[in-house]
Amino acid sequence: MNNSPVIRTASVNDAPEVSRLLRSAMLTYCADSGISSSMLEAMTESIESVADRIARQTCLVAETDGKIVGSICIKECQNPLVYNFSDKTYEYLKDLGKSFYISRFAVLEKYRKTGLGIDLMTRAVELAAGSGAECILLHSAATNKNMVEFYGKRGFKLIDSENSRGYMRGLFAYSLK
């Protein structure tokens, strides 16, 4: 590791490398969550799908020595109720104003526990806050102790969980109001 990673906005040309990073990171995520990799759409999505997400959302990548070693995507969600799956979730989401959703958060194994994930998450939160967001939402396997702890230390609260994808999936929220 010669240089500290630089965080920048991804371009569609980054899609092949981001796709490889996501698949690699999701294997660890699956192992840590006790779930099969076949349960995650990130494991089977095409490079074209990754490129489309990069074009439509704000996607940040961390790059060092010409290699992408981290990524995170964030988008405004016009209606946070699309993430509603119970009365408990509905009660939390029903009065929210401008909200954002984080997805495809990944850090190459060699760069985990270096602060890079914190830097990516911080930049995503800053982008949402700068756009007037009241809340940031994300999903993660509720059984993934490492990620639940990571999000908790960043101020995200587990507001509900559900099992529609074959594993216990938590909805986490970060309040900016």
pLDDT at residue 17, as a whole number: 97
What whole-number distance in Å separates Cα of residue 162 and Cα of residue 38?
A: 18
pTM score: 0.93
Q: Are 8 and 56 in contact (CB under 8 A)?
A: no
Helices (H), 75-135: 87-93, 116-130
**What tens digit of pLDDT does each residue of 30-85 get?**
999 999 988 888 888 999 999 999 999 999 999 999 999 999 999 999 889 988 88
Domains and CATH numbers, the chain: 6-175 (3.40.630.30)
**Which of 3-7, 26-30, 52-56, 109-113 has the lowest average pLDDT?**
3-7
- Gap between the terminal Cα atoms of the chain: 39
> Which residue spans within 78-163 are E strands per DSSP?
99-107, 135-141, 157-162
Residue whose pair of structure tokens reads 């759409």 in the numeric block: 41
**What tens digit of pLDDT does each residue of 123-161 get?**
999 999 999 999 999 999 999 999 999 999 999 999 999
